[in-house]
Amino acid sequence: MTKLTPSLMALVAASLFAGSSFALTKDEYKAEKERVEASYKSAKAQCDALKDNAKDVCEKQAKGDEKVAKAELENRYKPSDRNAYKARVARADADYEVAKEKCDDHSGNAKDVCKKDAKAAFVTAKENAKVAKAAEKPAATQTEKAANVAEAKKDAAAEKNEANYKAAVERCDPMSGAAKDKCVADAKLKFGQK
């Protein structure tokens, strides 16, 4: 696993603690954007010393961190529900790309399970972003807002269960006969699949 450069860590920390009520000025935005790009170049340069899949993972991590930092910066510059959602999705996408790349260190069923687990984590993060978006969206009444959030949570739970079910079934794949049948049945029961 790659280590984040101190400047990239500071940038990510600053973006996490930045209050969305204080939008950046155009000059601040430009300076921050240049810092993000410089941090990306520095992180990518560190990847050059690595080989094989470790290098690929490092590069995915650097690119993902850059995309997340840019999305969070955009939300700080132009705060909105839409930009906050985009920043959350950027983090989910980045984490997913890195997780998939790490799966290349495996082979056979272990690689397949790794990819399904990565997909399940991605779906979970994306669905959580949708729920957060629903929670942040203004509504005419508190009841309407609660209903919107409840609907988003219901949809999210269904999507998460389906992704987790697929990962669980992948773990059953190397089994055979009654053991495999029981494994699949247990997965269906655990994740509410038919």
- Contact (Cβ atoms closer than 8 angstroms) between residue 161 and residue 191: yes
- Quick one: pLDDT at residue 139? 83
Give the model confidence (pLDDT) of 107-164 as tens digits. Answer: 999 999 999 999 999 999 999 999 999 998 888 888 998 998 999 999 999 999 999 9
Which distant-in-sequence residues (6+ apart) come within 8 Å of 117 by Cβ? 99, 167
- Quick one: pLDDT at residue 187? 94
Distance in Å from the first CA to the final CA of the chain:
38
Tokens representing 56 are 């690929």
Give the model confidence (pLDDT) of 11-70 as tens digits. Answer: 454 444 444 457 889 999 999 999 999 999 999 999 999 999 999 999 999 999 999 999
Give the model confidence (pLDDT) of 162-193 as tens digits. Answer: 999 999 999 999 999 999 999 999 999 999 99
- Quick one: pLDDT at residue 5? 53
- Contact (Cβ atoms closer than 8 angstroms) between residue 128 and residue 156: yes
For residue 122, give the nearest of 73, 160, 151, 84 by alpha carbon: 160
- Contact (Cβ atoms closer than 8 angstroms) between residue 111 and residue 120: no
Tokens representing 33 are 């954007």
